Amino acid sequence: MSAWQPLPDELPPEVRHFVEQLRLLKDRTGLSLVALGARTAYSKSSWQRYLNGTQPPPRQAVVALCRVAAEDAERFGVRWELAVRAWPRPAPQTVPPSRPPHPVGAGAGAPSG
Protein backbone atom coordinates (compact mmCIF):
# COMPACT_ATOMS: atom_id res chain seq x y z
CA MET A 1 0.00 0.00 0.00
CA SER A 2 1.25 3.50 -0.79
CA ALA A 3 2.21 5.98 1.86
CA TRP A 4 -0.14 8.78 0.89
CA GLN A 5 0.32 12.34 2.06
CA PRO A 6 -2.49 13.64 4.28
CA LEU A 7 -5.38 15.21 2.41
CA PRO A 8 -5.93 18.96 2.86
CA ASP A 9 -8.06 19.74 5.93
CA GLU A 10 -10.35 22.05 3.97
CA LEU A 11 -11.63 19.32 1.64
CA PRO A 12 -15.39 18.77 1.93
CA PRO A 13 -16.39 15.30 3.20
CA GLU A 14 -17.68 14.22 -0.23
CA VAL A 15 -14.35 15.06 -1.84
CA ARG A 16 -12.34 13.45 0.96
CA HIS A 17 -14.35 10.22 0.70
CA PHE A 18 -14.03 10.15 -3.09
CA VAL A 19 -10.25 10.68 -3.04
CA GLU A 20 -9.83 8.04 -0.33
CA GLN A 21 -11.81 5.59 -2.48
CA LEU A 22 -9.68 6.45 -5.53
CA ARG A 23 -6.54 5.84 -3.47
CA LEU A 24 -7.81 2.43 -2.38
CA LEU A 25 -8.66 1.60 -5.98
CA LYS A 26 -5.23 2.68 -7.19
CA ASP A 27 -3.52 0.68 -4.42
CA ARG A 28 -5.54 -2.39 -5.38
CA THR A 29 -4.07 -2.26 -8.88
CA GLY A 30 -0.56 -2.61 -7.45
CA LEU A 31 0.66 -0.13 -10.07
CA SER A 32 3.02 2.76 -9.51
CA LEU A 33 1.82 6.18 -10.62
CA VAL A 34 4.11 5.94 -13.65
CA ALA A 35 2.62 2.56 -14.63
CA LEU A 36 -0.90 3.83 -13.94
CA GLY A 37 -0.18 6.79 -16.20
CA ALA A 38 0.97 4.48 -18.97
CA ARG A 39 -2.15 2.30 -18.64
CA THR A 40 -4.62 5.21 -18.50
CA ALA A 41 -3.12 7.94 -20.72
CA TYR A 42 -3.09 10.36 -17.76
CA SER A 43 0.36 11.42 -16.58
CA LYS A 44 1.99 10.58 -13.27
CA SER A 45 1.76 14.23 -12.21
CA SER A 46 -1.95 14.32 -13.09
CA TRP A 47 -2.58 11.24 -10.95
CA GLN A 48 -0.61 12.85 -8.12
CA ARG A 49 -2.91 15.88 -8.24
CA TYR A 50 -6.05 13.75 -8.39
CA LEU A 51 -4.98 11.37 -5.61
CA ASN A 52 -3.76 14.16 -3.33
CA GLY A 53 -7.02 16.07 -3.60
CA THR A 54 -5.53 19.16 -5.22
CA GLN A 55 -7.48 18.83 -8.49
CA PRO A 56 -10.61 16.92 -9.45
CA PRO A 57 -9.95 14.18 -12.00
CA PRO A 58 -11.81 14.24 -15.29
CA ARG A 59 -14.57 11.66 -15.41
CA GLN A 60 -12.67 9.76 -18.12
CA ALA A 61 -9.65 9.40 -15.79
CA VAL A 62 -11.90 7.78 -13.19
CA VAL A 63 -13.36 5.48 -15.84
CA ALA A 64 -9.83 4.55 -16.96
CA LEU A 65 -8.75 3.76 -13.39
CA CYS A 66 -11.87 1.64 -12.88
CA ARG A 67 -11.13 -0.26 -16.08
CA VAL A 68 -7.54 -0.99 -14.96
CA ALA A 69 -8.77 -2.06 -11.50
CA ALA A 70 -11.69 -4.11 -12.88
CA GLU A 71 -14.11 -1.98 -10.85
CA ASP A 72 -17.62 -0.78 -11.69
CA ALA A 73 -17.13 2.60 -13.36
CA GLU A 74 -20.81 3.52 -12.97
CA ARG A 75 -20.62 3.31 -9.17
CA PHE A 76 -17.53 5.50 -9.14
CA GLY A 77 -19.19 7.85 -11.62
CA VAL A 78 -21.87 8.65 -9.04
CA ARG A 79 -19.21 9.32 -6.41
CA TRP A 80 -17.33 11.47 -8.91
CA GLU A 81 -20.43 13.61 -9.57
CA LEU A 82 -20.97 14.22 -5.85
CA ALA A 83 -17.31 15.07 -5.31
CA VAL A 84 -16.99 17.40 -8.30
CA ARG A 85 -20.03 19.40 -7.15
CA ALA A 86 -18.47 19.84 -3.71
CA TRP A 87 -14.85 20.32 -4.86
CA PRO A 88 -13.49 23.69 -3.73
CA ARG A 89 -13.03 26.09 -6.60
CA PRO A 90 -9.85 28.15 -6.71
CA ALA A 91 -10.43 31.78 -5.88
CA PRO A 92 -10.57 33.86 -9.05
CA GLN A 93 -7.42 35.81 -9.60
CA THR A 94 -8.03 39.51 -9.66
CA VAL A 95 -6.19 41.25 -12.43
CA PRO A 96 -5.67 44.96 -11.97
CA PRO A 97 -7.35 46.95 -14.73
CA SER A 98 -4.96 47.91 -17.46
CA ARG A 99 -4.22 51.57 -17.85
CA PRO A 100 -5.26 53.22 -21.06
CA PRO A 101 -2.33 54.47 -23.12
CA HIS A 102 -1.33 58.05 -22.47
CA PRO A 103 -2.88 60.29 -25.10
CA VAL A 104 -0.38 61.89 -27.38
CA GLY A 105 -0.70 65.67 -27.28
CA ALA A 106 -1.10 67.72 -30.42
CA GLY A 107 2.19 67.91 -32.18
CA ALA A 108 3.89 65.43 -29.89
CA GLY A 109 5.91 62.99 -31.90
CA ALA A 110 5.26 64.93 -35.09
CA PRO A 111 8.32 65.83 -37.11
CA SER A 112 9.42 69.36 -36.53
CA GLY A 113 10.22 71.39 -39.40
In a domain? residue 66: yes
Q: Which CATH number fits the domain that encloses residue 43?
A: 1.10.260.40
Domain region containing 34: 14-86
31, part of any domain: yes
Task: Tell me if 75 is assigned to some domain.
Answer: yes
Per-residue pLDDT of the chain (113 residues; tens, 9 = 90+): 468 999 999 999 999 999 999 999 999 999 999 999 999 999 999 999 999 999 999 999 999 999 999 999 998 888 999 999 999 876 666 655 566 566 565 555 555 55
CA distance 86 to 82: 7
Give the number of domains in the chain.
Answer: 1
CA–CA separation, 17 vs 105, rounded Å? 64
Q: Is residue 93 part of a domain?
A: no
Backbone angles phi, psi at 77, to 5 degrees: -65, -40
H or E stretch covering 27: helix 13-29
In a domain, 24, yes or no: yes
Q: What is the distance, to the nearest Å, from the Cα of residue 65 to the centroid of all Cα atoms in its chain? A: 15
The separation between the first and the last C-alpha atoms of the chain, rounded to the nearest angstrom, is 82
Residue 108 lies in a domain: no
Regarding pTM above 0.85, the answer is: no
Quick check: is 18 in a domain? yes
CA atoms lying within 13 Å on the CB side of residue 8:
13
Q: Are 58 and 41 in contact (CB under 8 A)?
A: no
Residue 99 placed within a domain? no
Q: What angle do CA 8, 9, 10 make, to 5 degrees?
A: 95
